[in-house]
């Protein structure tokens, strides 16, 4: 049995400034520092991120890691770095890791979306090869990890089936939405206008093509309504803009990147936040929208009904007509919209980053035999 005083835990936080996983890691590190005064921690960070994170607990130290994910450097260099550190436990916040490392490992697997969907922004051949490697890594990691963490019960069951492992090896730790503290920042072209919105990436599994199709149907009865698509203008968003133009879909507004203040303003003024995704590990944007008083209309796919519970109105993400019908119901029924807002706020408030950290610490202790 490992003694509490000698337990040394490494947390791989190379994705600290990434989206999704980065949010998870920042909150996990913040709350672990508040609740754990027994173990010592070494936090691995990319060299460029070393100045961005400062420990608030003397038991936490940071170490630079120069090895990128999915590289030979990661497989060999990070493997050597871990052997020099000699940790009692390593927590990888993502599936990317040295598969040859044989020490005690806890791995957070957020979902299997990348294993199932293509990215048209990438070279087809190179992406296909990388995707096959990714699938293999997921399978190997699921078996070699002492314990796995997922964000939802849906992903827990999905991973167990995919890797053919016992689901008792997996613990679910829900995420939580963050309240935007920046002052609302008006977007002039939308002031006083009726609009529905989506914020996030435009990868194929986000299903934005069908959202545009649904919006075209929706405008037949709501000609003044606008669809706001917020997100960094990359290749995929530009591709979507071309498709919107080809379909002749009017009143679709691409905002590009929006500030926290602008995002808060959008949440607080939208007639509905629409989340049409085909696959998610948790679905933080919809939960964030709920926290800020937006009625949420969501896909019924994967984990979303589990996370949003009765705080959203659900549609079949493969059916543009059903999507349009559900959005139309919320946009034109004040009583329904108000009910969703109230329920959504309760749902968002039920999640806590502290609880996430407490559950994670319990996993560490279980794996360490404490």
Tokens of 114: 């990348």
Task: Give percent of the chain above pLDDT 90.
Answer: 87
Tokens of 177: 């939405």
Closest CA to 111 of 284, 359, 296, 293: 284
| Average pLDDT in the chain | 94
57 band by pLDDT with thresholds 50, 70 and 90: very high
Average pLDDT over residues 237-243: 92
HSE (side-chain half, CA atoms, 13 Å) at 125: 0
Q: What are phi and psi of 131, to 5 degrees?
A: -65, -40
pLDDT score of 112 more than 60: yes
The model's pLDDT over 182-199, given as tens digits with 9 standing for 90+, comes to 999 999 999 999 999 999
Q: How far apart are CA 303 and CA 281, in angstroms?
A: 7
Prediction pTM value: 0.93
Average pLDDT over residues 329-340: 98
Position 71 scores a pLDDT of: 85
Q: Which residue has the tokens 């508040």?
A: 34
Position 146 scores a pLDDT of: 98
Q: Which residue has the tokens 């939208």?
A: 270
5 band by pLDDT with thresholds 50, 70 and 90: low
Q: How far apart are CA 279 and CA 114, in angstroms?
A: 10
Average pLDDT over residues 345-352: 98
* Bridge partner list, 199: 230
83 band by pLDDT with thresholds 50, 70 and 90: very high
Position 123 scores a pLDDT of: 80
Q: Which residue has the tokens 């990661």?
A: 74
DSSP collapsed to 3 states, the chain = CCCHHHCEEEEECCCCCCCCHHHHHHHHHHHHHHHCCCCEEEEEEEHHHCCCCCCCCCCEEEEEECCCCCCHHHHHHHHHHHHHHCCCEEEECCCCCCCCCCCCEEEECCCCHHHHCCCCCCCHHHHHHHHHHHHHHHHHHHHHCCEEEECCHHHHHHHHHHHCCCHHHEEECCCCCCCCCCCCCCCHHHCCCCEEEEECCCCHHHCHHHHHHHHHHHCCCCCCCEEEEECCCCHHHHHHHHHHHHHCCCCEEEEECCCHHHHHHHHHHCCEEEECCCCCCCCHHHHHHHHCCCCEEEECCCCHHHHHHHHEEEECCCCHHHHHHHHHHHHHCHHHHHHHHHHHHHHHHCCCHHHHHHHHHHHHHHHHCC
pLDDT score of 19 more than 80: no
Average pLDDT over residues 124-142: 88
Position 116 scores a pLDDT of: 85
Average pLDDT over residues 356-363: 98
Average pLDDT over residues 139-167: 97
Domains and CATH numbers, the chain: 4-176+352-368 (3.40.50.2000), 188-349 (3.40.50.2000)
pLDDT score of 1 more than 70: no
Average pLDDT over residues 36-65: 95
């Amino acid at each position: 049995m490992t003694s509490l005083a000698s337990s040394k835990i490494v947390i791989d936080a190379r994705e600290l400034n990434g989206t999704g996983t980065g949010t998870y890691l920042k909150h996990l590190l913040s709350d672990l520092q508040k609740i754990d005064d027994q173990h010592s921690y070494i936090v691995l960070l990319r060299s460029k991120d070393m100045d961005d994170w400062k420990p608030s607990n003397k038991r936490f130290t940071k170490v630079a890691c120069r090895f990128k994910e999915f590289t030979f450097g990661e497989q060999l260099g990070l493997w050597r770095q871990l052997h020099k550190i000699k940790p009692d436990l390593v927590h990888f916040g993502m599936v990317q890791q040295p598969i040859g490392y044989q020490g005690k490992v806890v791995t957070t697997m957020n979902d299997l979306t990348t294993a199932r969907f293509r990215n048209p922004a990438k070279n087809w051949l190179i992406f296909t090869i990388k995707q096959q490697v990714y699938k293999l890594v997921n399978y190997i990691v699921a078996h070699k990890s002492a314990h796995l963490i997922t964000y939802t019960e849906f992903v827990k069951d999905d991973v167990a089936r995919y890797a053919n492992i016992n689901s008792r090896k997996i613990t679910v730790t829900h995420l939580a939405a963050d309240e935007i503290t920046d002052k609302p920042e008006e977007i002039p072209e939308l002031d006083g206008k009726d609009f529905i919105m989506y914020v996030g990436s435009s990868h194929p599994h986000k299903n934005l093509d069908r959202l545009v199709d649904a919006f075209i149907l929706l405008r037949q009865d709501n000609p003044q309504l606008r669809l706001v698509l917020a997100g960094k203008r990359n290749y995929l968003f530009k591709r979507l803009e071309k498709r919107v133009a080809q379909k002749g879909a009017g009143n679709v507004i691409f905002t590009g990147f929006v500030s926290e203040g602008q995002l808060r303003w959008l949440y607080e003024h939208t007639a509905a936040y629409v989340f049409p995704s085909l696959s998610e590990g948790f679905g933080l944007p919809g939960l964030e929208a709920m926290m800020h008083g937006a009625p949420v209309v969501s896909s019924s796919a994967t984990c979303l009904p589990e996370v949003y519970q009765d705080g959203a109105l659900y549609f079949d993400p493969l059916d543009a007509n059903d999507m349009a019908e559900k959005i139309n119901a919320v946009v034109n029924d004040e009583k329904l919209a108000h009910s969703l807002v109230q329920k959504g706020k309760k749902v968002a408030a039920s999640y806590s980053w502290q609880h996430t950290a407490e559950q994670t610490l319990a996993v560490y202790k279980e794996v360490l035999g404490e």
